A and B are shown apart, each in its own frame.
Chain A
Amino acid sequence: MKRNIFYIVISSTLLLSSCSEFLDVQPEGDATINTYFTSDQQAVDAVDALYERFHQEAVYGRELFWEQGAACDVVWGKTRGYPTLATLKYTGDESPLRTVFDRMYTIMARSNYVIKQLLTKAGSKTLSDIERRSLGEAYFTRGWAHFLIAYRYGTDKQGVPFIRYEDYDNQNDYYSIPPQRESVIDNYQYIISDMDKAIEYLPRFEEYDVDDRGRAHDAAAVAFKAKVYAYWATWDATQWEKVIAMVNELEGTYGRDLADTYAQVFSSEFTDFWNKEYLWTIPGNGGSTGGGSEFPGVILENKAWGKYNGWGQNKPSYDIYAELLKDGEGNDRLIRILLEYGQEFRLLGETRKFWSTSDIESGFMINKYMDPFKHEDAANKGYINTNGDWPTARINFPIIRFAEMLLFRAEAYLMTNRADKATADLNRIRQRAKLAPLAATATMSDLYHERRCELAFEFTDHLFDLKRWHRSGNAEIKALAAAELNAHPRVRHYKDRQNPDSEYTVGAYEDYKDKATYKDHMIVFPYPSQQVVNSNGKLKQNEGYN
């Protein structure tokens, strides 16, 4: 028996001594954070994770657009649980604001990791071409995400939270709460510096082959810089010169220009995707592996007259219709931008006359992204997504296009008293849209009209245009902005909603009628209250929202 005990003791001792090895289990199937970036494919996979958030419903799919309800171009077409976005009674907790906010910081953190790791690798090895490009893409996405937060949450009195991993050596620093920068101008400087780094590492668009077109390229970074300077000019008018310089560079160095036709920009043919006007897009596609932005399906008539899972959201108001109509009955741009009753259009191979019965009436539908839907059997041919819960379509969905650049340059000229040059830029846009040139030298009113109409229903943020104009030193544009910000959108009410030729009256949109008076602090949104709480005092709420 003693021997037995002896064996037991021996065996348990053995068990214990080998225990530390036994416990040293190692996972497989996932890389650790410090052993990544050993091959080009790894860099490509890491960069995919930077782009993918932007494609989601929570950003360019739909959510980023709801805030436009506070301007007068768009009505929601349906009741939503956050009417405060349309009535300017912001809480910061409206789900579209919250989710976009979270996603942008996720992208910044992911980009930060890629930048930090690749810079570290570059310290000891030469990066491959793909790794250099990846580094550029990470700077680009960090700047892009940072920008969407900066102008929507930052003011001259209080910037937005931002950290750069390359400023730190200790991983624990990445776990600290990013400091809220002193002024949004500081944030803009960081964004410009990220875009400059992006330009340094990214290739020209023309250098990409067919498999890589759609990736960040240097002209896209320049375009973002132009937009950053334009917004920066809200707080510091000297930035307008830089806007002009950036747009000149796009035109000169990068050979960007307006596409031949307005329709080409929104075409559902791959051959039109990379036209002269292309700067930055989310390329979309349909079929069973489609992707991109779901916005084309979101704005399609609810259930698409029984043909497809359109979501019936975000419809044109009578106000934008009236603005477009100023360029003449049935003008090219008007027809291309929206559908009105009786207007003919093609849907899945059939010609229809437009009418709409869904939810809350507007009498119009956005037509800009309808090209992919015209094809017969569009889903199976790959023009629209076979999954109605993810209704993407084959379109090079614009984020920034050259027309917006021209409009910014025109604005810069107007703000720096060079109205003649602004006239030329505006007329280029009008002529491309087959509209008569301006009758006289351009004014800020002309710029307002042109920017509002040309970019209608794009993610160029018309609402923010109004908000920044409301702070403008130019009384003319300030008055126009104030008028639109304080108006409730109008719509058409049809006697027989199913009849394309029905009579109608123009009246107020029937939902969210209790709009607040616009005040300048509303240029930014309040931070999500939960984030203010969770930051434990380190994230200060924006002025006017306490």
Chain B
Amino acid sequence: MQLYVIINLKLKCMKRTNLRIYRTILPLVLGLLLSVGAVAQQMSVKGTVKDQTGEPIIGANVLVKGTTTGVVTDLDGKFEVPAAKNAVLLISYVGFQIQEVTVTGKPLVIVLKEDTELLDEVVVLGYGASARKQDLSASVGVVSNTDELAVRPVTSTEGMLQGQLPGVTIQADGGDPTSSPSIVIRGQGSAKDDVLWVVDGVPGAPIASVNDIESIVVLKDAASAAIYGAQSGAGGVVLVTTKKAKEGMPALTYDGTFGLRQATNLIDPLNAEQQIEMRKRSYANAGMTLPTGWDVSKNPWVGTTRTDWMDAIFRTAFYQRHNVALNVGTDNYSSRISFAYDNDEGVLINTFNKNLSLRYNGKIKLNKWVTISEDFVWKNTESRSKNTDNDGYTGPIISAIYMPASASIYNALDGSYGGTTTEDPAYIAQYGSNFADIHGDAVNPVRLLEAENRYNKTSDIWSTTSLEIANVIPGLKFTSRFTYNLNSNLYKNFNPIRDEVGKPALSNSLTETTYRADAWKTENTLTYDHTFGEHTVGALFSTTADRYSRRGLEVTGRDFADESEFLQYLAYAGTTQAIDYLAGPDANVSLIARLAYSYNDRYFATASWRRDYAGRLPKANNHGDFPAVTLGWKISNEKFFKKSNFISLLKLRASWGRIGNLSSIPFNYKSPLLEKTSWSEQAQYGVESGKVWGNFVYNSRALNPELTWETSEQYDLGVDMELFRNRLSLSLDYFDKRTYNLIQTREMEWPTTIGLDPLYVNQGEVRNRGFEAQFSWRDRINKDFSYFVTGNFSYLNNKVTDIGLKNADGTPGVWTNSKRFRGGSYIYQTAEGEPLNSYYLIKTDGIFQTDADAAAYVDKNGNRIQPNAVAGDLKFVDANGDGKITDADRQYMGNATPETTFALTLGFNYKKLSFSAMLQGVGGAQAAYIGKYMLLGDVEGNFNRSSEILNAWSPSNTGSDIPRLSKNDPNGNFSTASDWYLEDASYLRLKNITISYDLTDMLRKWSHLNERNSRMSVYFSGENLATFTGYSGMDPECGGWDAMKYPVSRVFSVGVKLTY
């Protein structure tokens, strides 16, 4: 009976209506209470549990406080439980506040109050510190509806977080299954703005599966992140809490998601006939003779469309995720084991990311003082992808555009991969040539994705053991934690001979690499929490230490006489070459202190301080201090404040803190090391005896002994409100973040004439200021229908406030950036007062419509500004008025960071059906669609192009914004870094629609499942359903540099959630 009750309790705890917040503390509180047994005079207590509308609550838990005795209310909300007189009953139901009622002997009527007040949640803040959400004085973003988010077909935690919190900008940066979206908290402060992920208190630990996440807390302001000091990453900290072992009888849950994903809005390359037409026009417009191979009478092969290459490389991909969790626990020992498997197939053929993971969480209470817990995660990953963003040469997507449509995927003669043209000897005999020359070095993209034989598996094991000593002195707790991580990988890739026409490579190679990374971290923390009358104090002192090293081996074998799969082993290589290495070791130590104080639930203050020591820096310069303070004032608890139905909570917050970004400094930076490279190629000498270079060693590093980490300081002012009987909650924040000592490679004062790689320097300051708003409206109209609308908005202003260097004439210098696409020019440069990584381009002013227009574009002396321009060429703005178009005419034109980000989610529950829809978007973002250099211009290479090129300007198509089609480019339409490449990348996306239906009733028709209170829900979800944007490329979410990156895909999925 007792066991049965416990099961019920556990399962009731899990029972919840959708879109309510799953509560962590409840089972823990109950568990503690259950652990102490009591025996007293028993009587039978009867009662009814109702909600505020008077409706009976079915399935509410009624527990006799201090015992393990409990029951569940029936269909009429009634219960009967044996209890002693004056015993206290605890009545709880998910979504309602817990109530305590003293047994009087009379039947009880208990009205539970709805717990819509999310602010009652307890929020973890790192190193064991936590606070009630409504008591927070720092700016912290909380995502606690992770279970609902996880039913979406999201493949990463970042993807799940997108649009959930204001000021947390997540950008997909393409749709490669092996990479995750980028996350930037409150604006980019530096080029390498890392965010620290802390999972269950362990920095850098993996998340076994999104289904294992209980809640996510983003420490947005520096005051809250400062407790992680230099480890924070100038970006901030994300704390992830996973689901833990709970008391209760064995319970099994299963979460499954199955989806289909498809790429949308792909580029449409020219077909064979169109390519010939385009090429004819391009050569003719340049006054050049068309190469013979484009003449269909001489090379008929080129005139027939055989392959839709986009179709050949993209597929409808299958996505699946499974998570099985088993939980069992008594008051002294509890454990939870979960297995997760996900297979995320990419929309490009043969790309995938598979994970098989095991997670264990267990807790053993040795006695009333000592608790030991263990977290163990083993993540086994297998992945395969292909770089799509390699500057326009042989990425698979760009190759699918370059490859002529007249080519075939497979060579009809022997079934091998097809090249740019036919290899049929009869054809060559008849036509004299197969004219491979006219297609340039395009490669078969299907082959790129398929031909290599690859094995790539990573095993990542994390074990964290914690010892907790508590209750010796009330409020005092000591926690000691040790984490060990072992990460190993084996990569083996056989690259066969590429004998196809086009770009043949006649040698094969086998690359094998393996590494083993060992890391440990330890943390020893003392906390003290106590309330004296109206004063509440929380103190924390902690020390941490960590160490990391990675050993690896890389072997290359070449010249395999036999390419059979079973002989793709090094023993059969003609030559082999191997190197090994040690990365690191790295070691860090820190001291942490934090003090929180509150008075009368009105005034709140916290102060923290952290000192970090980093082994990678020279001793004299290896430490830094990271202080923080926060203040909060709950005005609504003041006597003068009249609480009303209109407003129930009003709180002002202010905070200041400092954090650092250690990850911007490489391991062992302090050591002046030589570089080495190894080549197995013929050297300068010994050619007759086949001497190869082997290792060569050189001095190329410049060392800055003064180097220190990037630092960021931030002020935050905020206000939290609860309005309309807690139906509306509102949060507003203003922040001002100053990131200084930016680590950069020294560009200025480091011309390449120095001959060494640029020095790392601390230089400059970036300021991010912004405003964030978040609201949530939740209302229940009646028992069957409730709805909600939540939304957030943030505005960000990013600019460089100190460039940190001066030109020779005393004016502020600039930060240059040489990133370029193929033979194009650089496009980024940053100046003081401009945003970080600004586009620095020459402005265009449309297209010359006539030769006369072009000739009439003259300077003050009447000389032509663009002497080579004719009708159809771009008109460049001579910004400095010197009569020439040069780099001096470039202007700053914004950057890729969105100025505004916003999201809106609406949803409702009607009986067993729930529905939610999420809109997400960004405004004021720019992107350089740099791929247009090769897609819409026919200058470089004789590749195939986008079908858009046929819309280029011509005398009969004067409305076009694509410059005239020409084989050469005397006006520099394409080679000039102009704003013709720059597009507005703002968008509004229907990010997700999810419909779910609760099938529990159906399930419970089977009495066994009814007894167990089993549950089941099914889901249908659609992701990236529609995008509204003016951007002309595949997807505006490209990170500001669009060179035909792996596109974001649309996904439809179904899911099931089952609790046995």
Residue ranges of A at the interface with B (Cβ–Cβ < 8 Å): 1, 4-5, 8, 11-12, 15-16, 19-20, 22-34, 36, 42, 45-46, 48-52, 54-55, 79-83, 91, 93, 95, 101-102, 105-110, 112-113, 161, 174-178, 208, 210-215, 270, 273, 282-285, 288-292, 301-303, 305-306, 308-309, 311-312, 357-361, 379, 386-389, 392, 394, 396, 493, 496-498, 510-514, 528-539
Are B970 and A83 within 8 A (Cβ)? Answer: yes
CB of B823 within 8 A of CB of A535, answer no
Residues on B with C-beta less than 8 A from A536 are: 748-749, 805-808, 813
Beyond A312-B437, A511-B968, A535-B753, whether A45 also contacts B697 by CB under 8 A is yes
Say whether B472 contacts A1, CB under 8 Å: yes
What residue of chain B has the Cβ atom nearest to residue A47's Cβ?
A: B696
**CA of A302 to CA of B506, assembled, Å:** 17
Contact B504 A305 (CB under 8 A): no
Stretch of B110-118, B264-272, B578-586, B991-999 on the interface side: B578-586
Q: Are B675 and A30 in contact (CB under 8 A)?
A: yes
Q: Which stretch of B239-247, B483-491, B677-685 is in the interface?
A: B677-685
The reply to whether B433 and A110 form a contact with Cβ atoms under 8 Å apart is no
Q: Is B172 an interface residue (CB 8 A)?
A: no
State how many angstroms separate the Cβ of B820 from the closest Cβ of chain A: 8
Q: Per-position contact with A for B612-624: 1 when CB-CB < 8 Å, else 0?
A: 0111100100100
From A82, A212, A512, B823 is in contact (CB under 8 Å) with: A82
Q: Which residue of B has the minimal Cβ distance to A539?
A: B751
**Which single residue of chain B is at the shortest CB-CB distance from A497?**
B292
A27 touches B814 (CB 8 A): no
Most buried by A among B614, B672, B807, B867: B672
Q: How far is the CA of A537 from the CA of B684 in the complex (A)?
A: 38
CB distance from A32 to the nearest CB of B (A): 5
B816 touches A (CB below 8 Å):
yes
Instruction: List B683-705 residues whose CB lies under 8 Å from chain A.
Output: 683-700, 702
Which residues of chain B come closer than 8 Å to A42, judged between CB atoms?
697
Surface stretch bound by A, among B219-227, B282-290, B339-347, B1052-1060: B282-290
Pairwise interchain contact A288-B587, C-beta atoms closer than 8 A: no
What is the count of residue pairs linking A and B with beta-carbon distances less than 8 angstroms?
346
Q: Are B749 and A177 neighbours in the complex by a CB distance under 8 Å?
A: yes
Give the residues in chain A near B814, CB-CB below 8 Å. Answer: 533
Contacts of B582 in A (CB 8 A): 27-29
- Contact across chains for A359 and B437 when beta carbons are under 8 A apart: yes
Bound Cα distance from A75 to B468, whole angstroms: 78
- Asked if B478 is at the interface (CB within 8 A of a chain A CB), the reply is yes
Can you list 10 A-B contacts with CB-CB less than 8 angstroms, sorted by A residue number?
A: A23-B588, A25-B668, A45-B694, A45-B697, A48-B683, A81-B939, A161-B751, A510-B286, A514-B970, A531-B753
Q: Which of B588, B668, B688 is close to A27, meaning CB atoms less than 8 Å apart?
A: B668
Whether the Cβ atoms of A292 and B682 lie closer than 8 Å is yes
Q: Does B970 lie within 8 Å of A81, measured CB to CB?
A: no
Q: Is the CB of A22 within 8 A of B587?
A: yes
Whether the pair A25, B585 counts as a contact (CB closer than 8 A) is yes
A133 to B794 Cα, complex, angstroms: 66
- CB of B433 within 8 A of CB of A214, answer no
B756 at the interface (CB under 8 A from A): yes
Contacts of A36 in B (CB 8 A): 674, 697
Given contacts A19-B589, A498-B292, A514-B868, contact A161 B673 (CB under 8 A): no
B positions within 8 Å CB-CB of A: 286-289, 291-293, 298, 421, 423, 428, 432-438, 440-441, 469, 472-473, 476, 478, 497, 501-507, 524, 526, 543, 545, 547, 558-559, 574-575, 580-582, 584-589, 591, 613-616, 619, 622, 667-668, 671-677, 679-700, 702, 747-756, 759, 805-809, 813-814, 816, 818, 822-826, 867-868, 886-887, 939-940, 942, 967-970, 975
**Min C-beta distance of B21 to chain A, whole Å:** 36
- Given A95-B823, A379-B506, the answer on whether A288 and B559 have CB atoms closer than 8 Å is yes
A108 to B755, CA, bound (A): 7
Contact flag A46-B696 (CB < 8 Å), given A15-B545, A24-B615, A535-B753: yes
Q: How far is the CA of A529 from the CA of B886 in the complex (A)?
A: 11
The reply to whether A289 and B682 contact each other, CB–CB distance below 8 Å, is yes
B682 touches A358 (CB 8 A): no
13 more A-B residue pairs beyond the given contacts A16-B543, A291-B681, with a C-beta to C-beta distance below 8 A: A23-B587, A32-B673, A81-B824, A109-B754, A161-B751, A174-B702, A215-B684, A285-B687, A289-B559, A512-B968, A512-B970, A537-B807, A538-B808
Instruction: List the A residue with the shortest CB-CB distance to B938.
Output: A79
Residues on the B chain within 8 Å of A387, using CB: 505-507
Assess the B504–A308 pair: CB atoms within 8 A: yes
Question: Which residue of chain A has its CB nearest to the CB of B686?
Answer: A211
Q: Would you give the shortest CB distance from A269 to chain B, in whole angstroms? A: 10
Which A residue's beta carbon lies closest to that of B423? A306
Do B438 and A358 touch (CB < 8 A)?
yes
- Set A20, A161, A530, A539: member contacting B816, Cβ < 8 A: A530
Q: State the CA gap A29–B968 with chains docked (Å).
A: 50
Query: Which of the listed residues B574, B682, B822 has the most CB atoms from chain A within 10 Å of its own CB?
Result: B682
User: With A27-B673, A109-B700 in contact, is A80–B668 under 8 Å at CB?
Assistant: no
Q: Find out whether the CB atom of B504 lies under 8 angstroms from the CB atom of A388.
A: yes
Chain A nearest CB, measured from B515 CB (Å): 13
Rounded to whole angstroms, the CA-CA distance of A289 and B678 in the bound complex is 13
* A27→B754 CA distance, assembly (Å): 26
Hey, which chain A residues are within 8 Å of B695, CB to CB? 45, 48
Contact A79 B939 (CB under 8 A): yes
Q: Which residues of A contact B748 (CB under 8 A)?
A: 533-534, 536
Q: Are A357 and B288 in contact (CB under 8 A)?
A: no
Asked whether B754 lies within 8 Å of A49 as measured between CB atoms, the reply is no
Is A529 a contact of B823 with CB atoms below 8 Å? no
Distance in Å from the Cβ of B482 to the closest Cβ of chain A? 13
Inter-subunit contact A31/B697 (CB<8 Å): yes
A304 to B780, CA, bound (A): 76
Q: Are B524 and A534 in contact (CB under 8 A)?
A: no
Contact (A102, B939) CB under 8 Å given A25-B584, A31-B697, A214-B687: no
Partner of A110, one of B298, B755, B822: B755
Structural contact, A29 and B581, CB atoms closer than 8 A: yes
Question: Given B289, B591, B673, which contacts A510 in the complex, CB threshold below 8 Å?
Answer: B289
9 residue pairs, one from A and one from B, having the closest CB atoms: A109-B755, A537-B808, A291-B682, A81-B823, A302-B437, A48-B696, A291-B681, A386-B507, A214-B685
Closest chain-B Cβ to A465's Cβ sits at a distance in Å of 26
Contacts of A513 in B (CB 8 A): 287
Residues of B within 8 Å of A512, CB to CB, are 968, 970
Q: Which residues of A have CB within 8 Å of B672?
A: 32-34
Nearest residue, chain B, Cβ from A104: B755
Pairwise interchain contact A11-B506, C-beta atoms closer than 8 A: no
Instruction: Tell me which residues across on chain B come within 8 A of A28, comparing CB atoms.
Output: 582
Asked if A309 and B441 make an inter-chain contact with CB atoms under 8 angstroms apart, the answer reads yes
Residues of A near B816 (CB, < 8 A) are: 530, 533-534
* Contact among B505, B694, B818, B825 for A386, CB-based, below 8 A: B505
A359 touches B291 (CB 8 A): yes
With a cutoff of 8 Å between Cβ atoms, the chain A residues found around residue B687 in the complex are 213-214, 270, 273, 283-285, 292, 394, 396
Complex CA distance for A478 and B691, rounded to whole angstroms: 46
Q: Is the CB of B676 within 8 A of A8?
A: no
Q: Which residue of B lies closest to A178 (CB)?
A: B753
- Complex contacts, B591 vs chain A, CB 8 Å: 16
Q: Give bound CA distance, A11 to B522, whole Å.
A: 13
Roughly how many angstroms separate A493 CA and B287 CA in the complex, as a whole number? 13
